[in-house]
Amino acid sequence: MSNPAPFGQRPPALRVLDASVPATPILAGRVLLHEHSRFIPRQRNSIDSDLGGVVMTGDNAETRAFKLRTEAGFTGTMLIDSAPYTTHTATENEPFLLPQDQMFATLDDTLGFQKAAGASAALTPTGYIAPGASKPLKAVIRAAQRIERVDTVVTVPVDVTWLSNERVGQLIAACERINQPKALVLVGQFDPLQHAKVIPANLRRVISEVEGMMLLRTDLAALDAMVHGALCAGIGVTSSVRHSVAPGERAKVSKPNGPVYPSILMPELMCFKGAESLANRYANAEPATCPCEVCNGRGLDRFYKTDSETRVDAEDHNILIWSTWVGEMAGYEVGPKRKIWWQEKCAAAINRYPLENQRIGLSAKRGFQPPPPLSAWATLPAS
Ligand SMILES: [Zn+2]
């Protein structure tokens, strides 16, 4: 592979981990950044090498991941999620999407390609598991039971209705029959956790009752999962990688034809807010400020722009903020103290909403409102 290294420097050799290196210890305790491959891969200083890592996703994710390793020199933990669940619905005969352009491509080849591109562990190319699609889910279990490699995580991209009271027991039973680590991806428009009131609690059940669960392509639900015993989790860098939509659907956005502004993680309020809505809310008041390395005390209303520098700054701010929380969390062992820390942290954020609205002179209706999942994490029993 030719590589135009600048100034004659050789890129660091790519260390490929073979199929005998188990996935579990590599991933344990980490919250990964789910990155979109459409942008030039770059090393982010904001990623914590002990507690973080990257999931590269989107078109040509393997090529981008390889470049992140060889050109940008990234040596941390990395997964490659080519997101087959966005185009392929799992069926009884084809639970996994194997490459169409290569004759006789096997699952083993697909997993091996990811490792050759620099992945620390491999993800199965599982299709989207539609509402109530029990037979395709069983086919995923059977296919997983035939995998002999220990470097593999079984991706379980389920429609969010699998977290309803009627279905969650079946999902738990299915995940328990898969011996490998399992990466749950929730598929649904907007925030899947807001589809029904029971979802945050039922998601916790799946994570806490099944060993080796991961939750990928999500938002702060990643922390709730890690607090309740997940092996690993992944937070999306933009809203499009903080959930997924079913094959054939387009992600609905509140303003379909408008420019795309960054979404900003509010350190005190513990929620992501669009830059436009922040600029509006802080139009006649002092904005909330942020002490992170990127913001350096500046206001959080400054991201209302569409240029790439602003986007990267916003992303790095977000990563620094949630990485700080992951670092705090790692100070508590998995168990009651960690759960109480998280519950109190979410409750404290909820309590700041009326204070912030009062400070900027907005009513509860026109000001900030806590997202329902945050309220659930603050009030659900910690045990
Ligand atoms: Zn900041």
Q: Can you give the residue ranges of every domain in the chain?
A: 28-241, 263-379
Mean pLDDT to the nearest integer, 260-284:
96
Residue 233: is its pLDDT beyond 80?
yes
In the chain, DSSP assigns E strands to 30-36, 54-57, 78-81, 122-123, 152-159, 182-187, 213-218, 232-236, 263-266, 271-274
Q: Mean pLDDT, to the nearest integer, of 190-219?
A: 96
Residue of 189, 185, 356, 190 lying closest to 270 (CA atoms): 356
Output the CA 31–ligand 1 centroid distance in Å.
19
Tokens of 327: 């670092």
Distance 382 CA to ligand 1 centre (A): 29
**Tokens (6 digits) for 307:** 């240029």
pLDDT at 3: 41
What residues have their beta carbon closer than 5 A to ion ligand 1?
A: 290, 292, 295, 317
pLDDT, tens digit, for every residue of 172-201? Answer: 999 999 999 999 999 999 899 999 999 999
Question: What confidence tens digit (pLDDT) does each residue in 20-30 have?
Answer: 999 999 999 99
**Spacing, Cα 268 to ligand 1 middle (Å):** 11
CA R_g for the chain: 21
For residue 41, name the pLDDT band (cuts at 50, 70, 90): confident
Cα of 24 vs centre of ligand 1, distance in Å, is 32
- Enumerate residues 6+ apart whose C-beta is below 8 A from 196: 160, 163, 164
The CATH number for 28-241, chosen from 3.30.379, 3.20.20, 3.40.50, 3.90.320, is 3.20.20
User: Residue 87: which H helix or E strand, with range?
Assistant: none
238-262 per-position pLDDT tens digit: 988 999 999 999 888 777 778 889 9
pLDDT at position 12 is 58
Average pLDDT, the chain: 94
229: helix, coil or strand? coil
CA distance 135 to 94: 11
pLDDT digits (tens, 9 = 90+) for 286-297: 999 999 999 999
Tell me the mean pLDDT in the region 205-213.
Answer: 98
Cα(283) to centroid of ligand 1, in Å? 19
CA of 289 to the centre of ligand 1 (A): 8
- Residue 325 pLDDT > 60, yes or no? yes
